[in-house]
């Protein structure tokens, strides 16, 4: 896999993050340094396409890349090997054909979604959903985090809610904690998490990055597993801003 070491972004691109992304001020200096390299590699290697003639602007690319790369910040990988392009739709993505709904159910016809991740294929995103969610963590939803969590899950070729782990004991503990939470649905996760283990991982990832303090309070063991896997602690980052000043 390629390394982000030789990459970076321009002062103009940093300016977009400073102006447009609420998480930017929360990142510590070393985190900013790493995420800029990750974004630089992401922008240099991913293909971008606007659906139905939609114009994908520099700002859109930088903001999607930043959110996708936040997931990689504490991981030992610098890119998403199971995808190489992003297709940006202006609004809801309308999928045609046969769909798997989970639990063995299928439907045919048009299905409307905010995003979709393909194994060794593109990530589809609705720009209106990206825009509405990126600075509204109180919604607990983020389509970029969701779809790129699927891409992490897909690295080992199976979409089962368990991304690759170097250590077998870590993987077993992860599966145990996630299975327990899957079987006794915590309220802090929205219902869609319980569609199947793959959706559980993606929805829990959204909550982990959007509402880390709430997730940590409600489900400390699950939160701890996500801290271990992602190699970062978003609640610690968010906390100082939530504490009242003396």
Report the residue number, 199 or 233, with the smaller CB distance to Zn ion: 199
Report the residue number, 147 or 219, with the smaller CB distance to Zn ion: 147
CB of 103 to Zn ion, least distance (A): 14
Please give the Cα distance from 91 to 89 (Å, whole number): 6
Report the residue number, 40 or 197, with the smaller CB distance to Zn ion: 197
Of residues 231, 227, 221, 230, the one with CA closest to residue 180? 221
Please give the Cα distance from 217 to 67 (Å, whole number): 24
Report the residue number, 199 or 225, with the smaller CB distance to Zn ion: 199
Query: What is the pairing mode between strands 123-126 and 115-117?
Result: antiparallel
Give the number of residues written for the chain: 246
CB of 102 to Zn ion, least distance (A): 10
Residue 12 token pair: 């103009």
Of residues 205-224, those binding Zn ion (CB under 5 A): none
Nearby residues of 11 by Cβ (< 8 Å), 6 or more positions away = none
Please give the Cα distance from 142 to 173 (Å, whole number): 26
Nearby residues of 87 by Cβ (< 8 Å), 6 or more positions away = 49, 50, 51, 122, 123, 124, 125
CB of 99 to Zn ion, least distance (A): 12
Using CB under 5 A as the binding criterion, the count of chain residues that bind Zn ion stands at 2
Nearby residues of 132 by Cβ (< 8 Å), 6 or more positions away = 139
Q: Which residue is nearest to Zn ion (CB)?
A: 202
Please give the Cα distance from 114 to 91 (Å, whole number): 8
Report the residue number, 102 or 164, with the smaller CB distance to Zn ion: 102
CB of 195 to Zn ion, least distance (A): 8
CB of 58 to Zn ion, least distance (A): 28
Residue 82 token pair: 């199971």
Q: Determine if 142 is a binding residue for Zn ion (CB under 5 A).
A: no
Report the residue number, 40 or 163, with the smaller CB distance to Zn ion: 163
Of residues 168-207, those binding Zn ion (CB under 5 A): 199, 202
CB of 48 to Zn ion, least distance (A): 21
- Site for Zn ion, rule CB under 5 A: 199, 202
């Amino acid at each position: 896999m390629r390394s982000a070491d030789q990459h970076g972004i321009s002062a103009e691109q940093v300016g977009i993050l400073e102006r447009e992304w609420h998480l930017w001020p929360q990142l510590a200096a070393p985190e900013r340094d790493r995420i800029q390299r990750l974004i630089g590699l992401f922008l240099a290697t991913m293909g971008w396409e606007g659906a139905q003639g939609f114009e994908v602007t520099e700002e859109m690319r930088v903001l999607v890349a930043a959110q996708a790369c936040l997931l990689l910040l504490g991981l030992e990988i610098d890119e998403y090997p199971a995808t190489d392009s992003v297709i940006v739709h202006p609004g809801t993505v309308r999928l045609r054909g046969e769909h798997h709904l989970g639990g063995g159910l299928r439907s045919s016809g048009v299905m409307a979604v905010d995003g979709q991740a393909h194994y060794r294929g593109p990530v589809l995103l609705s720009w209106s959903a990206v825009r509405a969610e990126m600075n509204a963590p109180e919604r607990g939803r983020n389509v970029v985090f969701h779809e790129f969590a699927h891409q992490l899950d897909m690295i080992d070729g199976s979409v089962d809610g368990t991304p690759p782990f170097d250590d077998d004991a870590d993987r077993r503990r992860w599966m145990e904690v996630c299975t327990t939470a899957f079987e006794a649905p915590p309220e802090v996760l929205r219902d869609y998490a319980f569609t199947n283990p793959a959706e559980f991982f993606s929805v829990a990832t959204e909550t982990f990055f959007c509402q880390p303090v709430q997730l940590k309070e409600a489900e400390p063991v699950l939160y701890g597993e996500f801290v271990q896997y992602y190699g970062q602690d978003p609640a610690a980052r968010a906390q100082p801003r939530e504490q009242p000043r003396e």
